[in-house]
A and B are shown apart, each in its own frame.
Chain A
Amino acid sequence: MTFHQWLELAIAFGILLMLTLLFRLGLAWLGLLKGLGFAAFTFFIIALFAFDLVTAIVAALRLLTIGTVFFLFFQTTSPEALSNALIKMGTPYPFVFVLTTSMQFVHVLIRRVISIRDAQRARGIPIEGGLRALWYLPALAGPLLIQAFQLADELAEAMEARGFGAPGRRFRYEPHLMLLDWAIITVSIAALVIVVLL
């Protein structure tokens, strides 16, 4: 079965929404919807004019479903758990480290964006909206990129100073698969098989 019908997609989306509410992530999801909703609406309008109503609904629902799946995954999985799982699966440590650490630095960079935006607005550069803002995009992107590179450089140095490259690293917690993990793996595989067979 492929998701070409709006009904199946709507059911999947409904299940995801129920899970979102179950995990008490309703408010956070509404926050996500500000951006995702706009993208889904744009998809809907483009598909509506280019194709037809059903295609437009399916396109918008697909985007909402994918967005919500990722939202649920990252909201319910700590970077630590993700990194442990990836290491357990045999992914090389430096790769896992880069992936999970970059997630940590999203907050730091958001703070930087706010400071840069304030600094530029304070000297009259119109970066808050309108077409002129596009012309001044480098005023936001330039300092942000430079600072991101600088941060990465300083971070690499700090990691090195705490033995990042040392051979024989031992982890504080050795993650083990529990009964619950096995149960969820079994249910997920079963669900996947059923969906593919149908």
Chain B
Amino acid sequence: MILHFEKVSYRYPGVDAWALHELDLTFHPDQSVLVAGASGSGKSTLCRASVGLVPHFHQGQLMGRILLDGLDTRQHPVYQLFHHAGLVFQNPDAQLFSHTVEAELAYGLESLGLSPFDIEERLAWVKKMLGLGSLTKRSPHTLSGGEKQRVALGAILTLRPRILLLDEPFTHLDPEGAEQLRTTLRLIRSEGIVLIIVEHRLHEIITDVDRLVVLHQGEKRIDGSPHQVLSGDISIYGLNPPPLVRLFHALGWGKTPFTVDEALWEIKANHFSPQTLFSFPEQNSILVRSHPSTLDRIVEAEDLWYHYKDCSVLRGVHLNLYRGECVALIGRNGAGKTTLVKHLNGLLKPHRGSLKILGQDIRKTSVSKLARHVGFAWQNPNDQLFRTTVREEVLTGPRVLRAYNPRWCNRLFERLGLGPLLDRSPFSLSEGQKKRVSFAAALAPQPELIIFDEPTAGQDEPFRRELTELIHELQGEGRTVVLVTHDLEFAAQHATRWLILAEGQMIADGSPNTVMANPAAMAKAGLRPTQRFQLIHALKERSKE
């Protein structure tokens, strides 16, 4: 027993609801545990309570007992606990505060009062393990998202904690970064450190954990081996099962494979018919019906070039978008996706090439004029909230653009479940609710083209379902939807066309299956096909043999 929660209830100051409620949970050495739960299930609070930040930093009311390495966290301040259990937070920007990566890594060791010799020894160990050697002299704010996360992880690992907790570590990573993190976590585990990963995207890490704990409304609902837990229905807790488990469940095959190899084995061992799988539709029937008209082009981009600080971010991009289609723009972080979509409403102007939105040349059209036709729902809704009520927040855009249609806006409020929140301050809402407000704000001027920037990042299953319905409705109304995303499963289900951007160039454009069947393009963009695609491909190959 290395971490033990005994009838723990906790609520934050000024909040009536319990974030954790009568929680009994024990973590043992030599275990990797995935703690899953929807937004508001108490996952982050569990992390904070494990390292003593709850109650020492957050105050609030704590009942029950938490023992970390035999120490009662209530009796010991955080600085006596932080080298027993280390916590890597979700936002890398907010945990890197030193001038150089090396200083960042050494900070916790200085807090421990170690001698310079010991500090150097630990730094060498962690630099080697995480491959940070080339970054040591750099300032943390100049690093990429994945590098920042590695530094944040390193800054905790140097303390050699017995337990390492990671709060939603996959949220900001592209598929390549996620793979790198999985490799790192395996390495850390081999050092004998207990891993507790808090995540609602189960598929990212499910193959690497021994135990899955499901939290719901601050309580432990299920606890067991991943296969055991996933053989039941976890969607009632707002969780999305891993793709192959979901697929097998939909086909009525009562097995829970996590990998393609496991799925192949189950199909063979249980004599499941591959034909059933081949004929099972991936996309919603509405989507299949809504083929766009190839004549009605709303975006025409030719040979777009954009430079930033002597670096070509876009290099001759060609792009066409048609009315009523849903397109996914995919590529690794830094491939130029954001730069490209910022051209679609004139926030950026191309240095070379031509771009027309609804027939208007964006060089000659102002952003505010284009904003009437192109809606943006950004990844971080906090970037736009400034009004005192949700209603004002949503209506600001249409009023400025003189595009206010009360009937449409009322429908939006109803559609996005904002009705009861209209008179509340947008700042008092949960992150999921804020995201809905930002969607409503983007859609309020009735744009023909709507761009969703990482709409599923950090969002739980109920939100994904709502988003799915919203996308279908928008398409049904003849609006074009662009999903900028790393979530290939979501993109494969909802986008009729994939655009792959790598190093500023559009290297693939076609249906999800056509693009995934192009190994060169997928490899260049650091992507791997969805598990369903891999499984079907493997089964077809096998039937040929």
A143 pairs with B383, CB closer than 8 A = yes
B9 to chain A, nearest CB (A): 21
Residue of B nearest to A139 (CB): B386
Partner of B99 from the list A100, A157, A161 (CB cut-off 8 Å) is A100
A162 pairs with B155, CB closer than 8 A = yes
- Interface 9-mer from B24-32, B285-293, B370-378: B370-378
A169–B114 alpha-carbon span in the complex (Å): 8
A32–B347 alpha-carbon span in the complex (Å): 25
* B433-451 contact mask (Cβ, 8 Å, vs A): 1 or 0: 0000000011001000000
B441 pairs with A101, CB closer than 8 A = no
- Interface 9-mer from A33-41, A43-51, A111-119: A111-119
A107 contacts which chain B residues (CB < 8 A)?
Answer: 139, 141
B111 pairs with A166, CB closer than 8 A = yes
Question: CB of B67 within 8 A of chain A?
Answer: no
A162 pairs with B91, CB closer than 8 A = no
Known contacts A147-B382, A157-B57, A172-B110; is-contact A162 B141 (Cβ 8 Å): no
Partner of A124 from the list B78, B79, B445 (CB cut-off 8 Å) is B445
A170 pairs with B107, CB closer than 8 A = no
Question: CB of B100 within 8 A of chain A?
Answer: yes
Residue of A nearest to B93 (CB): A108
B384 pairs with A154, CB closer than 8 A = no
Partner of B119 from the list A154, A159, A172 (CB cut-off 8 Å) is A172
Question: CB of B281 within 8 A of chain A?
Answer: no
Known contacts A115-B380, A125-B396, A170-B115; is-contact A158 B94 (Cβ 8 Å): yes
A169 pairs with B110, CB closer than 8 A = yes
Question: CB of B470 within 8 A of chain A?
Answer: no
B385 pairs with A123, CB closer than 8 A = no
Question: CB of B108 within 8 A of chain A?
Answer: yes
B94 pairs with A161, CB closer than 8 A = no
B86 pairs with A154, CB closer than 8 A = no
B400 pairs with A125, CB closer than 8 A = yes
Partner of A123 from the list B57, B95, B442 (CB cut-off 8 Å) is B442
Question: CB of B112 within 8 A of chain A?
Answer: yes
A125–B396 alpha-carbon span in the complex (Å): 8
Question: CB of A52 within 8 A of chain B?
Answer: no
A160 contacts which chain B residues (CB < 8 A)?
Answer: 53, 56-57, 78-79, 82
Partner of B367 from the list A104, A121, A142, A151 (CB cut-off 8 Å) is A121
B104 to chain A, nearest CB (A): 9
B118 to chain A, nearest CB (A): 10
Known contacts A143-B383, A143-B384, A172-B106; is-contact A158 B347 (Cβ 8 Å): no
Partner of B397 from the list A78, A118, A125, A159 (CB cut-off 8 Å) is A125
* A154-192 contact mask (Cβ, 8 Å, vs B): 1 or 0: 111111111111111111110000000000000000000
**Is chain A's interface secondary structure helix, strand, loop, or mixed overall?**
helix
A122 pairs with B103, CB closer than 8 A = no
How many residues of B sit at the interface, in one of the four size bands?
Answer: 35 or more
B119 contacts which chain A residues (CB < 8 A)?
Answer: 172
Partner of B427 from the list A101, A146, A169 (CB cut-off 8 Å) is A146
Partner of A115 from the list B57, B99, B372, B378 (CB cut-off 8 Å) is B378
How many pairs of residues, A versus B, come closer than 8 Å at their CB atoms? Answer: 164
A120 contacts which chain B residues (CB < 8 A)?
Answer: 383-384
Known contacts A104-B98, A171-B110; is-contact A119 B384 (Cβ 8 Å): yes
Residue of B nearest to A174 (CB): B116
Partner of B371 from the list A100, A123, A128 (CB cut-off 8 Å) is A123
Known contacts A119-B378, A157-B57; is-contact A163 B342 (Cβ 8 Å): no
Tell me the A64-81 residues at the B interface (CB within 8 Å): 78-80
Question: CB of B345 within 8 A of chain A?
Answer: yes
Question: CB of B113 within 8 A of chain A?
Answer: yes
B433 to chain A, nearest CB (A): 15
B110 pairs with A124, CB closer than 8 A = no
B87 contacts which chain A residues (CB < 8 A)?
Answer: 161
A142 pairs with B385, CB closer than 8 A = yes
Partner of A161 from the list B82, B91, B367, B400 (CB cut-off 8 Å) is B82
B114 contacts which chain A residues (CB < 8 A)?
Answer: 170
Question: CB of B274 within 8 A of chain A?
Answer: no
Partner of B113 from the list A128, A139, A157, A168 (CB cut-off 8 Å) is A168
B347 contacts which chain A residues (CB < 8 A)?
Answer: 118, 121-122
Question: CB of B368 within 8 A of chain A?
Answer: yes
A158 pairs with B99, CB closer than 8 A = no
B92 to chain A, nearest CB (A): 10
Question: CB of A138 within 8 A of chain B?
Answer: yes
Partner of B82 from the list A79, A162, A172 (CB cut-off 8 Å) is A162
A119, A120, A128, A168 — most chain B CB neighbours (10 Å): A119
A116–B139 alpha-carbon span in the complex (Å): 24
A173–B115 alpha-carbon span in the complex (Å): 10
B270 to chain A, nearest CB (A): 47
A78 contacts which chain B residues (CB < 8 A)?
Answer: 99
A182 to chain B, nearest CB (A): 24
B400 pairs with A162, CB closer than 8 A = no
A164–B48 alpha-carbon span in the complex (Å): 16
A50 to chain B, nearest CB (A): 38
A67–B89 alpha-carbon span in the complex (Å): 38
B397 pairs with A123, CB closer than 8 A = yes
Question: CB of B517 within 8 A of chain A?
Answer: no
Tell me the B39-73 residues at the A interface (CB within 8 Å): 48, 51, 53, 56-57
A161 pairs with B113, CB closer than 8 A = no
B159 contacts which chain A residues (CB < 8 A)?
Answer: 162
Residue of A nearest to B383 (CB): A119
A163 pairs with B108, CB closer than 8 A = yes
B111 pairs with A163, CB closer than 8 A = yes
Residue of A nearest to B374 (CB): A122
A171–B107 alpha-carbon span in the complex (Å): 9
A164 contacts which chain B residues (CB < 8 A)?
Answer: 79, 111
Known contacts A104-B97, A154-B95; is-contact A123 B112 (Cβ 8 Å): no
B342 contacts which chain A residues (CB < 8 A)?
Answer: 118
Question: CB of B205 within 8 A of chain A?
Answer: no
Residue of A nearest to B347 (CB): A118
Partner of A158 from the list B95, B112, B382, B442 (CB cut-off 8 Å) is B95
A122 contacts which chain B residues (CB < 8 A)?
Answer: 345, 347, 367, 371, 374-376, 378
A116 contacts which chain B residues (CB < 8 A)?
Answer: 383-384
Question: CB of B77 within 8 A of chain A?
Answer: yes
- Given contacts A163-B79, A163-B112, 11 further A-B pairs with CB under 8 A are A112-B383, A118-B342, A123-B371, A139-B384, A157-B57, A157-B89, A158-B97, A160-B57, A161-B51, A163-B83, A166-B113
Contact sample, A vs B, 11 pairs, CB 8 Å cutoff: A79-B99, A104-B99, A124-B372, A124-B445, A142-B386, A143-B385, A154-B89, A157-B53, A160-B57, A166-B82, A172-B106
